């Protein structure tokens, strides 16, 4: 089942939540919608689920328009951020609920429903909790119930809204690995919303990075991490060092100093230099390097992490860099920094 | 050169000019601000066609902006004064400031008290209109869901209906009886106290009977139901909305109106006439009791007088109103519940407004019914 969203626009009063968004999810893919809060990712998910309607644009499932159909007719499984389990029903009844209310001609016999629910509870590894009530479960267990409930109706599409948002770090990690392996087993087209880049990078086949109602980049996790398309993506995904630089005549200047970098295709004018922290190489001060004084050194597991103050155009810019543990660094040292890999983007107005 | 900022008036080549000199930077903010403000104030009377900035030693964004402000103040019918002697270094800065300010909106005058009052009235009216539209919307959705249920009665959730009838009907009986009983007592006591002056004690029975059966019985019950059950509906549905349970129902193919609202509204429509009946009886009982103990009116006299004073019409008037009031309360309460947005504040404010709106609409409806019954002679 492919999902396609074309030119989706959604306006809430004066606020444009989605601004001409195009997205295509292939059948069997697991795609993450990643962005800061307010970027429109949940709105997009709700529109695909049929819980909201766009002001303009189309939603197609397998090439057929889905907008005429309501949420219940789209055959979509939705996992809510706060699980939205029915509290007065046992785990078993929660999962069975969607099956019991199907139209008569589709409805299974009671024995079938029983079998299906037990299979699902097995699949999400909580079969021993079938008779408990949601109030008696931990967050991770509730999330599994919510997932089983969403899967019960054999959805053609699975949508997850911040599925691990309300869980603690350890459970999150465990559950997202589990979600990945579950997806590898059942292969249902899935789209999940998250603001946690680590989650998106680890779980998803492809990542859709959104900001302010627009899609900034769509790509595989490696692609998005290694070749960010825009300054926003570079800043948002992975830890980046950002320095204001000036590009002119093929040269890159930081303050008064000309750096030994190629400007690439960057246009002249004020720009921003993005470097991953692990791509910043610490060396002796010299021509074409970024020069600064070490302010603080901390041992950080196998590496040293140093705060370096770079004298720039207006005041100092403080950046954090890594160095090997055996390197003798002490506060006050003057060091040179040379980016191994970097990207330059024009500064935004 | 790098001295205190100045702004002098002098005769230029083609008319009066202003010459700015010194350091126009944020360090001298106070001084330049004052200079420019004076110049702006005089600008209406004393025009200038030129601003000479060649003597400016240093300029930053702050200074550039004040020069731009000065230029705008001196602009006459789209003829801006020329800026002369601008150093090449500062050209970009001045341009940027000029363009930056262009799309800024002109400062709006604070609206006066009358305008504010009218605006508030306008807002309130448009809110009322919104409410009415939403009510019509919700009523339509409920009727539609009701029709669907009528076609497929097996989908109706009887358990839910019974549950809600217990909540809003059976469990409400004690408090309704107590309140209406007390209201009946008070009406009788007041009536006796005042009628006694005219020797008309016995007409208290007429007053209590007519008033309770036609108006007070059902109205007090409706107000109590709005406060007790309407607010509970809003809070229940609102918290389901907050926990996304309503969305969950929708993704599983349920119509929330059919599943959640129809049983609730129906329970209220069934329960309310019963409550109104019980309430009216309790009020009459209270009235009779006070008439006996406080007014010395024997119960048998009270009853025979009551039989003469009231007709079946009075009773019908009260009972006919009850289900309509119940429907209004139910629709408003459910609508407010569905309008709850994510936060707890929103839940609280919608619960409050559910009660306020229900009581308001119940009283409006009562007035409409009063006109209606008067015109058909009931």
Give the model's pLDDT for residue B123. Answer: 95
Strand pairing class (A334-339; A206-211): unpaired
Geometric angle at alpha carbon A31, from A25 and A37, rounded to 5°:
115
3-state secondary structure of B131: helix
**Mean pLDDT to the nearest integer, A26-55:** 90
- Residue whose C-alpha is closest to residue A319's, from A348, A280, A261: A280
Compute CA distances B65 → A229, B33, B228, whole Å.
36, 10, 61
At B184-242, the pLDDT tens digits run 999 999 999 999 999 888 899 999 999 999 999 999 999 999 999 999 999 999 999 99
Is it the case that residue A315 has pLDDT exceeding 70? no
Cα–Cα dist B325/B267, whole Å? 13
Calculate the CA dihedral of residues B239, B242, B243, B247 and round it to 10 degrees.
110
**Mean pLDDT to the nearest integer, A111-128:** 87
**Which residues of B make CB contacts under 8 Å with A?**
243-245, 247-248, 250-255
- Yes or no: say if A192 and A44 are a contact pair by the CB < 8 Å rule: no
CA of A326, closest CA in chain B: separation in Å? Answer: 47
- Full-model pTM: 0.74
Centre a 10 Å sphere on the Cβ of residue B122 and count the other Cβ atoms it contains: 10
- Residue whose C-alpha is closest to residue A162's, from B238, B345, B244, B252: B244
Contacts of B255 in chain A (CB under 8 A): 72
**Mean pLDDT to the nearest integer, B308-318:** 92
Give the model's pLDDT for residue B104. Answer: 57
Domains of chain B as residue ranges with CATH: 6-100 (3.30.750.24), 122-375 (no CATH)
Is it the case that residue A349 has pLDDT exceeding 50? no
**Minimal Cα distance from A71: which residue of B?**
B251
- Yes or no: say if B357 and B374 are a contact pair by the CB < 8 Å rule: no
- Yes or no: say if A243 and A317 are a contact pair by the CB < 8 Å rule: yes
Give the model's pLDDT for residue B129. Answer: 94
- Residue whose C-alpha is closest to residue A120's, from A186, A74, A61: A186
Q: Which of A84, A101, A150 sits opposite B244 (nearest CB)?
A: A84
At B40-63, the pLDDT tens digits run 777 777 777 788 888 888 888 888
What are the residues whose beta carbons fall under 8 Å from the beta carbon of A200, sequence distance 6 or more?
Answer: A32, A34, A194, A207, A221
Cα–Cα dist B283/B288, whole Å? 9
Strand pairing class (A76-79; A157-161): parallel
CA of B81, closest CA in chain A: separation in Å? Answer: 28
At B227-239, the pLDDT tens digits run 999 999 999 999 9
**Which residues of A make CB contacts under 8 Å with B?**
46, 49-51, 70-73, 76-78, 80-82, 84, 86, 97-98, 101-102, 150, 153
Alpha helices in chain B (DSSP H): 29-43, 61-73, 88-102, 113-151, 158-168, 173-195, 203-211, 217-225, 231-242, 245-251, 256, 262-293, 299-309, 312-338, 344-376
Contacts of B244 in chain A (CB under 8 A): 80-82, 84
Contacts of B253 in chain A (CB under 8 A): 71-73, 98, 101-102, 153
């Amino acid at each position: 089942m492919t999902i396609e969203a074309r030119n989706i626009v959604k306006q809430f009063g004066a606020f444009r939540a989605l601004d001409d968004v195009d997205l295509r999810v292939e059948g069997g893919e697991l795609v993450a919608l990643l962005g800061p809060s307010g970027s429109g990712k949940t709105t997009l998910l709700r529109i695909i689920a049929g819980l909201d309607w766009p002001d303009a644009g189309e939603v197609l499932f397998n090439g057929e328009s889905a907008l005429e159909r309501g949420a219940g007719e789209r055959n979509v499984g939705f996992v809510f951020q706060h699980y939205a389990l029915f509290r007065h029903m046992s785990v078993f009844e929660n999962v069975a609920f969607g099956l019991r209310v199907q139209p008569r001609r589709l409805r299974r016999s009671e024995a079938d429903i029983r079998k299906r629910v037990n299979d699902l509870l097995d699949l999400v590894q909580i079969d021993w909790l079938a008779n408990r009530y949601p109030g008696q479960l931990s967050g991770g267990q509730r999330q599994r119930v919510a997932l089983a409930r969403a899967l019960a109706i054999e959805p053609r599409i699975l949508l997850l809204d911040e599925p691990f948002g309300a869980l603690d770090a350890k459970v999150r990690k465990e559950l997202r690995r589990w979600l990945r392996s579950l997806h590898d087993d059942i292969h249902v087209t899935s789209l999940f919303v998250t603001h946690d880049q680590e989650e998106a990078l680890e779980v998803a086949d492809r990542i859709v990075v959104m900001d302010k109602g627009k899609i900034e980049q769509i790509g595989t996790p490696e692609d998005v991490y290694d070749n960010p398309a825009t300054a926003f993506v570079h800043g948002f995904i992975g830890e980046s060092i950002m320095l204001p630089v000036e590009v002119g005549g093929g040269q890159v200047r930081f303050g008064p100093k000309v750096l030994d970098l190629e400007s690439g295709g960057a246009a002249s004018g004020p720009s921003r230099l993005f470097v991953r922290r692990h791509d910043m190489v610490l060396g002796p001060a010299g021509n074409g390097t970024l020069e600064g004084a070490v302010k603080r050194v901390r041992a950080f597991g196998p590496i040293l992490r140093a705060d370096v103050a770079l004298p720039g155009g207006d005041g100092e810019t403080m950046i954090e860099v890594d160095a090997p543990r055996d390197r003798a660094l002490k506060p006050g040292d003057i060091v040179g920094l040379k980016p191994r890999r970097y990207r330059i983007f024009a500064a935004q107005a | 050169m790098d001295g205190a900022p100045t702004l002098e008036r002098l005769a230029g080549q083609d008319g009066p000019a202003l010459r700015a000199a010194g350091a126009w930077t944020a360090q001298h903010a106070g001084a330049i601000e004052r200079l420019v403000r004076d110049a702006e104030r005089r600008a209406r009377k004393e025009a200038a066609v030129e601003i000479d900035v060649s003597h400016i030693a240093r300029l930053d964004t702050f200074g550039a902006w004040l020069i731009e402000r000065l230029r705008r103040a001196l602009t006459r019918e789209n003829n801006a004064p020329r800026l002369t002697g601008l150093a090449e270094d500062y050209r970009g800065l001045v341009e940027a400031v000029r363009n930056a300010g262009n799309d800024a909106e002109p400062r709006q005058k604070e609206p006066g008290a009358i305008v504010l009052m009218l605006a508030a009235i306008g807002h309130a009216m448009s809110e009322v209109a919104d409410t009415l539209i939403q009510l019509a919307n919700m009523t339509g959705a409920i009727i539609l869901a009701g029709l669907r249920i009528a076609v497929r009665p097996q989908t109706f959730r009887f358990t839910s209906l019974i549950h809600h009838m217990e909540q809003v009907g059976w469990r409400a009986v004690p408090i309704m009886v107590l309140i209406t009983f007390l209201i009946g007592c008070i009406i009788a006591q007041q009536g006796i106290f005042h009628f006694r002056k005219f020797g008309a004690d016995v007409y208290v029975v007429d007053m209590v009977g007519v008033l309770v059966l036609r108006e007070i019985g059902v109205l007090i019950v409706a107000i109590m139901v709005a406060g007790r059950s309407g607010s509970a509906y809003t809070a229940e549905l609102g918290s389901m909305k907050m926990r996304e349970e309503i969305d969950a129902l929708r993704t599983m193919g349920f119509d929330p109106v059919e599943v959640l609202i129809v049983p609730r509204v129906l329970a209220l429509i069934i329960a309310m006439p019963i409550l109104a009946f019980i309430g009216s009886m309790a009020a009459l009982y209270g009235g009779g009791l006070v008439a006996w103990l406080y007014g010395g009116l024997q119960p048998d006299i009270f009853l025979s007088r009551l039989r003469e004073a009231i007709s079946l019409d009075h009773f019908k008037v009260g009972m006919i109103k009850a289900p309509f009031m119940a429907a209004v309360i139910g629709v408003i309460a459910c609508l407010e519940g569905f309008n709850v947005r994510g936060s707890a504040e929103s839940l609280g404010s919608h619960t409050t407004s559910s009660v306020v709106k229900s009581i308001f609409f119940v009283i409006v409806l009562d007035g409409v019914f009063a006109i209606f019954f008067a015109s058909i002679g009931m």
